[in-house]
Amino acid sequence: MNLFNVYPLYDVTPVKALDCIITDEKGIEYLDLYGGHAVISVGHTHPEYVAKLKDQLDHLAFYSNAIQNPIQEELATKLGKLSDCDDYDLFLCSSGAEANENALKLASFVNGKSKVIAFNNSFHGRTSAAVAVTDNEKINAPLNKQQKVTFLPFDDVEALENELKKGDISSVIIESIQGVGGLDQASTLFFQTLEKLCKTYGAILILDEVQAGYGRTGKFFGFQHHNIKPDIITIAKGMGNGFPIGGVLIGNHIPAVSGMLGTTFGGNHLSCAAGIAVLDIIEKEKLIDNAISISAYFQEQIKSVPEVIQIKGRGLMLGIEFDFDVSALRKKLIIEKHVFTGSASNKNLLRILPPLTIKKEAIDQFIIALKEALAEIKS
């Protein structure tokens, strides 16, 4: 059987990894500044994470959501404490799209409406409602286009209020910083107005923290830079450091009804063990502080690269913007300089999403590699 050929692949075959270093089958080491789409939060194969998973595997890997599972409660308590969101309830699932799917569905259950506001250039996943609120025609099939979605620009309060005023909006979904779209973010004033207008017009505010959450931006959640309190928060990626786990944090003004949401795999024992290990490591190793200080160092050092026209994003969720398409540069960085970086729908942007454990020396190594690659591309 062949694989369904949907991914453009680089010719690199990783076989092992430790912290920010990935090793391929030929023994070549790569610096990982991308964490496999912002997934690796506490570093590859962190010993505490590995030990926790192995121990859980020896006891019980899986049972469905039909029995008592105290590990889910331990995860929820730790997450509430570390994120300062302990007044939310947690629904566990297995991916970012699934988290958004459940958030949008829950909002619709709560207020009986079905229309959604999303923002230009958004990315929320590839399942039914999640892809419908994703601003990318190419990945929206006719089936998905049946959903009622209005896309608006950031920071346009008038357009937002005009849409909400119609009274038929179930929810508004927004990334605190756009990931795939290219690191754009709305202003604090816009986030705060959005929160107020959602309350006024009875729409549920969903913050998609699938990529920006888990300390990546220098606070546990990206929206915490704007001092707002969403009704629903969605999480995944960094939550399991590679183990598939996602979640929906639900404001306690939204009541749970038995059977309203559900999943076979979500919240299984092994995934919760991964989730707990990640939170313990983030706390113990003060990784949010590290994200802040390494980000500052990165932004200082990158000033020595004259081709860079702008740095976008926050913390360790950064975009380096050039005035040319970076696909050749990115390829050179991976294949010849052995550094993983990411792309965005803005073709001039390199995305930097390293493990939150990254050190200054790795940034120095990257700056040297970037300068060499730029010089070679020009010559």
Residue 221 is a binding residue for ligand PLP (CB under 6 A): no
Q: Which of 37, 229, 338, 359 binds ligand PLP (CB under 6 A)?
A: 37
| The one segment of 49-57, 175-183, 221-229, 265-273 that binds ligand PLP by CB under 6 A | 175-183
* Distance in Å, CB of 180 to ligand PLP, minimum: 5
Take residue 2 and report the two structure tokens written for it: 């062949």
User: Please, which residue, 149 or 373, has the CB nearer to ligand PLP?
Assistant: 149
| The one segment of 71-79, 208-216, 310-318, 358-366 that binds ligand PLP by CB under 6 A | 208-216
Residue 180 is a binding residue for ligand PLP (CB under 6 A): yes
Phi and psi at 266, nearest 5°, equal -55, 135
Q: Please, which residues have CB within 8 angstroms of residue 206's CB and are 6 or more apart in sequence?
A: 100, 103, 104, 107, 171, 172, 173, 174, 230, 231, 232, 233, 234
Instruction: Burial-class residue 274 by CB neighbours within 10 Å (0-12, 13-18, 19+).
Output: buried
Residue 125 is a binding residue for ligand PLP (CB under 6 A): yes
User: Please, which residue, 43 or 246, has the CB nearer to ligand PLP?
Assistant: 246
Q: Please, which residues have CB within 8 angstroms of residue 284's CB and are 6 or more apart in sequence?
A: none
First to last CA, the chain: 44
Residue 95 is a binding residue for ligand PLP (CB under 6 A): yes
Alpha helices in the chain (DSSP H): 35-38, 47-59, 70-83, 96-111, 128-132, 157-164, 188-201, 269-284, 287-301, 327-335, 360-378
Q: Please, which residues have CB within 8 angstroms of residue 98's CB and are 6 or more apart in sequence?
A: 125, 127, 130, 236, 246, 263, 266
Residue 210 is a binding residue for ligand PLP (CB under 6 A): yes
What Å distances lie between residue 155 and 16, 140, 190, 212, 234, CA to CA? 44, 25, 5, 19, 22
Residue 93 is a binding residue for ligand PLP (CB under 6 A): no
45, 18 contact by CB (below 8 A):
yes
Residue 217 is a binding residue for ligand PLP (CB under 6 A): no
Q: Which of 44, 46, 52, 124 binds ligand PLP (CB under 6 A)?
A: 124
Residue 97 is a binding residue for ligand PLP (CB under 6 A): yes
Residue 236 is a binding residue for ligand PLP (CB under 6 A): yes
Alpha carbons 371 and 368: distance in angstroms, whole number: 5
The residue number whose beta carbon is nearest to ligand PLP equals: 96
Q: Which of 56, 121, 211, 290 binds ligand PLP (CB under 6 A)?
A: 211
Q: Which of 123, 154, 221, 243 binds ligand PLP (CB under 6 A)?
A: 123
Q: Which of 32, 135, 175, 184 binds ligand PLP (CB under 6 A)?
A: 175
User: Please, which residue, 149 or 370, has the CB nearer to ligand PLP?
Assistant: 149
* Distance in Å, CB of 176 to ligand PLP, minimum: 9
Exposure b/e, 35-71, CB count within 10 A at least 16 = b: bbebbbbbbbebeebeebbeebeeeeeeeeeeeebeb
User: Please, which residue, 104 or 358, has the CB nearer to ligand PLP?
Assistant: 104
Residue 208 is a binding residue for ligand PLP (CB under 6 A): yes
Residue 96 is a binding residue for ligand PLP (CB under 6 A): yes
**Partners of 205 in beta bridges:** 172
Q: Which residues bind ligand PLP (CB under 6 A)?
A: 37, 95-97, 100, 123-125, 175, 179-180, 208, 210-211, 236
